[in-house]
């Protein structure tokens, strides 16, 4: 589950073990959007128990716009 989502990164709650410095490819499925936002490069910055923080390193401009539009919609509701 994703928490604290921003255009720069997010907090992930998962029982998957990761270590700081690991790189991930993430597919973010937003509500009411059939196609995911693909983040080809995300770096694990910290990990504690079943939570870890990632920084988005590679977010293509069209994906960044979609994410910003979603975050703006959530912020105004």
pTM over 0.85: yes
Q: How many angstroms separate the CA atoms of 24 and 44, rounded?
A: 8
Within its chain, how far is the Cα of 15 from the centroid?
Answer: 16
Q: Do 15 and 50 form a contact (C-beta atoms < 8 A)?
A: yes
Q: How many angstroms separate the CA atoms of 3 and 25, rounded?
A: 17
Question: For position 66, which CATH number holds?
Answer: 2.40.10.220
The structural domain count of the chain equals: 1
pLDDT (tens digit per residue) in 25-75: 999 999 888 999 999 999 999 999 999 999 999 999 999 999 999 999 988
Q: How many angstroms separate the CA atoms of 62 and 3, rounded?
A: 22
Range of the domain at 41: 2-75
């Amino acid at each position: 589950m994703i928490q604290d989502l921003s255009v720069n990164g997010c907090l992930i709650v998962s029982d998957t073990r990761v270590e700081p410095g690991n790189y991930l490819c993430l597919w973010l499925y937003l509500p009411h959007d059939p196609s995911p936002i693909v983040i080809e490069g995300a770096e694990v910055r910290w990990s504690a128990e079943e939570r870890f923080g990632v920084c988005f390193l590679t977010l293509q401009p069209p994906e960044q716009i979609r994410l910003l539009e979603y975050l703006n919609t959530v912020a105004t509701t």
